[in-house]
Amino acid sequence: MTRYQHLADLLAQRIEAGLYQSGERLPSVRTLSDEHSVSISTVQQAYHLLEDRQLITPQPRSGYYVTPRKHTPPAPAISRPAQRPVEITQWGCVLDRLNEEPDSDAIPFGSGSPDMCQSTMAPLWKAMTRLMQAQDSRVLNYDPVYGSLALREQVARLAIDSGCHLNPADIIITHGCHEALMVAIRAACQEGDIVAVESPAFHGIMQKLRGSKIKVIEIPTDSSTGISVEALKLALEQWPIKAVMLVPNCNNPLGFIMPEQRKRELLSLAQCYDIAIIEDDVYGDLAFEYPRPITIKSLDTDGRVLLCSSFSKTVAPGLRVGWIAPGRYFDRVVYMKYTGTGASASHPQLAIAEFIKSGGYQTHLRRMRKYYQQNLEKFTCRVREYFPCGICVSRPQGGFMMWIELPEHFDSVRLSLELSEAKVQFVIGSLFSASGKYRNCLRLNYGLPYSDKVDQALRKLAKAVECAMLECQMQIAEENRQAHANR
């Protein structure tokens, strides 16, 4: 990052924090030049950049002023999905996503990958290389079906941070959280069952349920506190629900952390109706707050929680190392794991175990939490600047996913097609509903390194949204006019 960009970011943060208020005059170029020991031209360039970002406005012969601020867009309201079990659709859209040609020119706001370029990854690379150089024979051999003991010990240690007291023998290593979730479903449910999910919910989870011939009931979910325990209770009274599947910490896609009290209430409800809880904690270690939030599993007294996680979001997805602590479903999960894929690969397990044991993982987490939080601040600021009024934006408390809700009639599928030509990719909201709701929503990965290219892509996206919203409004107005004329 150049000096002027650095200065511009600093000033933007001050504006963001209210140190320079809306409409207020900013310090003169000379003052800033003295204050930050930079050249006059550096300050000028920084001001031009902020002007480009519409954060400040020049007044001829007077200086720069903070652009009168737009209001922060509200968070999405609690969702209102269909209150009955439905067959899951949307596989076609997921497949389209899988079939997308990788395009290194495109800006992948739709990606589910973390940033993997930080220097704190170095100890992991070293551990991986060392095992190879030593021609460690464990790399070639079958691991136990439970996974490497070295890694299970480290996972048990890490789990303490989320309030869980697990033994290595309680844990099974899996091929990413993907496999953990699948074996959890197959262990706790059968064909024809009904499972309750958050709404919106991660499309991967829903496709797994579909593949297991399970119906889902989508439960209203608040974008800051999570699944509505009250609505879940109503659903449990009405339907023979077998399990609830959720991402209570740094939710995907909404980013909330479910408050501890709600977690307790949810567990009580599950105990009362004797259902299983499949808890996906894959983003949990990336909570901005520290110490990290507890898992529902940490409150579990009778083994009904199947806790699933992985190192795909905290470290790297390509290593395919996940894990499950399945409580009372342990034996069934072992069976599903054995019949599904047999043992997991040894090398990445050993390397990650070493990465954790040496403290490298924790250092990396500290870096990533800070990185994502800073990126979120930039993103939120730019979204507010660039996007039109009338949208809602989630307030992520961890992870790297942002959820944007556009007006009700908006078609994000059309927008997605239009923007993929302009090399801007995002995930359409309807993927996050069993029945195709949230067509007016989008999910963005704000974890991308914030470059000029990313900034331009975000502008393009905002511009396209603005145009589409205008079109949409005109269409509605026209429809109203015709309806009025026909009356």
Q: Which stretch binds a second copy (CB under 8 A): 6-14, 122-130, 358-366, 381-389?
A: 122-130
Using rule CB under 8 A, residue 58 touches a second copy: no
Contacts with a second copy by CB under 8 A: the residue count is 55
145 binds a second copy (CB under 8 A): yes
Question: Least Å distance between CB 155 and a second copy?
Answer: 18
Contact 224, 259 (CB under 8 A): no
In terms of DSSP bridges, do strands 241-246 and 276-280 run parallel, antiparallel, or are they unpaired? parallel
CB of 416 to a second copy, least distance (A): 19
Q: Which of 194, 189, 237, 187 is nearest to 87 (CA)?
A: 194
With both helix axes pointing from N to C terminus, report the angle between 360-386 and 3-16 in degrees, rounded to the nearest 10: 70
Residue 167 contacts a second copy per CB under 8 A: no
One residue of 10, 19, 82, 116 binding a second copy per CB under 8 A: 116
127-135: list long-range contacts, CB under 8 Å, 24+ apart: 127/350, 127/351, 127/354, 127/355, 127/358, 127/360, 128/347, 128/348, 128/351, 131/347, 131/350, 131/351, 132/347
- Return all residues near 349 (Cβ < 8 A) that are at least 6 apart: 143, 147, 148, 150, 151, 173, 321
For a second copy, the closer of residues 345 and 406 by Cβ is 345
Q: Are strands 241-246 and 226-227 parallel, antiparallel or unpaired?
A: unpaired
CB count in 10 Å sphere of residue 305: 26
- Choose which of 335, 363, 420, 472 interacts with a second copy (CB under 8 A): 335
Among 152, 208, 263, 292, binds a second copy (CB under 8 A): 208
Q: Which of 341, 420, 435, 456 binds a second copy (CB under 8 A)?
A: 341
Distance (Å, rounded) from C-alpha 170 to C-alpha 154? 12
- How far CA 293 is from CA of 199, 249, 264, 286, in Å, comes to 21, 7, 13, 10
Binding flag, residue 343, a second copy (CB under 8 A): yes
Which residues in the 210-239 window bind a second copy by CB under 8 A?
A: 210-212
What are the tokens at 277? 């809880």
Sole binder of a second copy in the list 179, 285, 354, 405 (CB under 8 A)? 179
Name which of residues 78 to 97 contact a second copy (CB under 8 A).
91, 94-95
The one segment of 235-243, 336-344, 414-422, 431-439 that binds a second copy by CB under 8 A: 336-344
Subset of 436-475 contacting a second copy (CB under 8 A): none
Of 185 and 468, CB closest to a second copy: 185
Joined together, the tokens standing for residue 372 give 């994502």
* Rounded Cα gap, residues 376 and 447, in angstroms: 8
Which residue(s) pair with 324 in the sheet?
172, 308
By CB under 8 A, residue 340 contacts a second copy: yes
Instruction: Give the pairing of strands 226-227 and 172-174.
Output: unpaired
Contact window for a second copy (CB under 8 A) among 204-212, 257-265, 286-294, 372-380: 204-212
What is residue 250's DSSP assignment? S
Residues 6+ apart with CB under 8 A from 417: none
Binding status of residue 168 toward a second copy by CB under 8 A: no
Among 143, 218, 222, 405, binds a second copy (CB under 8 A): 143
Choice from 18, 74, 144, 359 touching a second copy (CB under 8 A): 144
Q: Which is nearer to a second copy, 256 or 311 (CB)?
A: 311
Part in contact with a second copy (CB under 8 A); list of ranges 6-14, 255-263, 289-297, 318-326: 318-326
23 binds a second copy (CB under 8 A): no
Binding site for a second copy (CB under 8 A): 91, 94-95, 98, 102, 112-113, 116, 121, 125, 128-129, 132-133, 135, 137-145, 175-176, 178-179, 182, 191, 204, 207-208, 210-212, 316-320, 334-336, 338-348
